[in-house]
Structure formats: structure tokens, C-alpha cells
Amino acid sequence: MTTQSFLIFSALIITLTMGSCNNSDNTNNNIPVTATDETIITQKAEPTSTANIGGTYSFGNDVEKGAVGSIIIYPVTEYSALFFLDVCRGAPSYNTGQLFGNLSIQGNIGTYDSKKYSEDINCLLKFEFNSDIIKVSLDKEHNDCSFGHAVNAENSYTRLEDTIPEFFVEGQGDTIYFEGLTVEKYNHRFD
């Protein structure tokens, strides 16, 4: 990885962390939801309040010494939240992986299943919410999340910021706003 690429990656991590601090309103109930969003899920278990899980989480602090990653969580409904996950393997390859998706939430468990949106990717992630930590685990039979070589999202992510984020910044530098966003809209944003 060139010095310029490392600096760009570092700037993105800082931008993601700082960008989530711009909204002091911890409740955003004006998010439009349509019947095609797949965000409305009927469940019987008592959910973790999605407003309580919103924010920015991370693990690792030095890409030169090991893997680093971040997750930005944006609550949508009582049983769902959008997320943006960004992980880097660290030195010397600096291979990365990014994933945007919708979590179905039951109790303190969020589940992301890529098959709801694409037959080309076979990724099943479990997000376990415990206070200010998210433990992410990958289903071993559904482990193709289209990340770079040897990039792994499995880790415990600690909350850095509990403010509900307004946006995230992709690796290409595009700013993507959460309000009104769905996985379908995100996947077809260049159409």
C-alpha cells in the first residue's frame, strides 16, 4: 500500500468517526419506509430499542499493527437498522472490505442476510448488541461477503459515539446519507 493510499484510508476512518458526531438528535422518527423496503418485520420477542444501538463502533487503532474496522448503525424501525461496515486487514497488504445492509433485529441480535438482496453474494452476519459493544460473527457456511483477501469482519466493536449518524463515507469518498435510504436504493444509486 502506498503512503497516499494509507493516508486516504486513515482520512476515511477519521471522517467516518467525526461525521457521525454532527447530529445531536438521538431520535429520527421521520424516516420514510415503504412496503418494499423489507424493513418491517413482525416478531414477538422484546427488541433492543434500535435508538439505543445507533452510533459508531470500532475495533483496532493502528492499521500498521493489525486489523481495524468500524460499523455505523442507523436505526430505521423498531426491528431494523441500516449499517455500514468497513474493515481493513492491516499491514502489509491493507486489504479492505465494506458492506452496507439492513439488520433484522430480534432481542439483542441483529442479522444481515445478503441473499435478501443478491444471489451473487452469500454472506450471513450476526450482530450481538451488549451495552456499548457489538460482537460480529460470520456464519461459516455463508461466508462470502465480497471482502478483500483474508479480510474478516468478526470482532468486538466498541461504541465510540452514540449519536445517530446522518451519513457514512464510502472508500471511494462518496458521502451517502441514511435518511430515506434502503438497500435497493443504495444498490441502484448509479443506475
Reference 90, options 164, 137, 148; nearest CA is 148
Reference 147, options 156, 158, 136, 163; nearest CA is 136
For position 51, what pLDDT does the model report? 66
Number of domains in the chain: 1
Q: What's the pTM value of the predicted model, to 2 decimals? A: 0.73
The band of 81, judged by pLDDT with boundaries at 50, 70 and 90, is very high
Rg of the chain taking only CA atoms, in angstroms: 16
Residue 174 CB burial class (10 angstroms; 0-12, 13-18, ≥19): exposed
Contact 129, 71 (CB under 8 A): no
What is the rounded CA–CA span in Å between residue 144 and residue 183? Answer: 18
Helices of type H across 20-148: 50-53
Supply 66's cell numbers.
493489525
Whether the predicted pLDDT of 88 surpasses 90: yes
For position 117, what pLDDT does the model report? 82
By residue range, what is the domain housing residue 90? 3-187
Model confidence pLDDT, tens digit, residues 12-67:
443 333 333 333 333 333 333 333 333 333 333 344 567 689 999 999 999 999 99
Reference 132, options 107, 160, 112, 153; nearest CA is 160
Reference 181, options 168, 172, 163, 171; nearest CA is 168
HSE, CB side, 13 Å, CA atoms: give it for residue 16. Answer: 29
